[in-house]
Amino acid sequence: MNLVNFRDLGGISAIDGKKLKPNRLLRSGELVHLDEASFATLAKHNLKTLVDFRSAYEVEKTPVNIGELADVNYVNYDIMADAKENMASQETWLKHLDPNHADAMMKGLYREFAVSSAARDGYAHFIRTCVSNSDGAVLFHCAAAKDRTGVGAAIILKILGATDEDILHDYMKTNDERKEANERVFEEYSKKGLTESQLAAFAILYSVKREYLESAFEAIEAEYGSFEKYIENGLGITADEIECLKDLYLD
């Protein structure tokens, strides 16, 4: 199977002793060049809705391919539409190949995921898409399923009452789940003549750190005062929508 960084959030503990239902919320890297085993996995999870957090540039460059899966609703919400640079492009990342610069860039990027207009609009649409998905699985993804997808997962898990520890645990799984894919990328760029320092920067850009996700939540706290106010005022999600989300995704 060549689905990268794919997992079902089912089973994660939530509020009042409940847990997330299986086959309802899935996260993954981009769905391109998938093999038959990947299609079979998506079918097994009863995929109904596909939420793509990538930019128009990424979607055009590598269109989603879900094979012959029928009746899948596809939506695209560009989380980084406000970015001054095309941060999804490896060409842009090549400009930031200093380990210290790369680390600071990632923290800044996560702050943008929390408070930029495009990110808030995208995550609000994502939550409402989940509210409208009464049965089957919602799969949300970006390119690597680590940053835009990681923050999206953290937001919806926190709404559903998951603990910060469990949210972080799911987020950090990315480093294991992307290990083989990252090694292929590093090998490719090593052959292109990148130095050890540049490859170390690439390792930062292709991994996740606790501090990155903390940067997003610190920005939320600074801008809105609390996560609850961020959901209410930043995303415009109502109490009724939150209750509907809990009814649909918790058991």
| Cα(98)–Cα(201) distance, integer angstroms | 5
Which among 80, 65, 62, 106 is positioned nearest to 202, based on CA atoms?
106
- Summarised one tens digit per residue, pLDDT across range 166-196 is 999 999 999 999 999 999 988 988 898 888 8
Confidence (pLDDT) at 65: 85
Confidence (pLDDT) at 173: 98
Burial of residue 108 (CB within 10 Å: 0-12, 13-18, 19+) is: middle
Q: How many helices (H) and strands (E) does the chain have?
A: 12, 5
Question: What domains can be seen in the chain, in order of their start residue?
Answer: 7-249 (3.90.190.10)
Confidence (pLDDT) at 33: 87
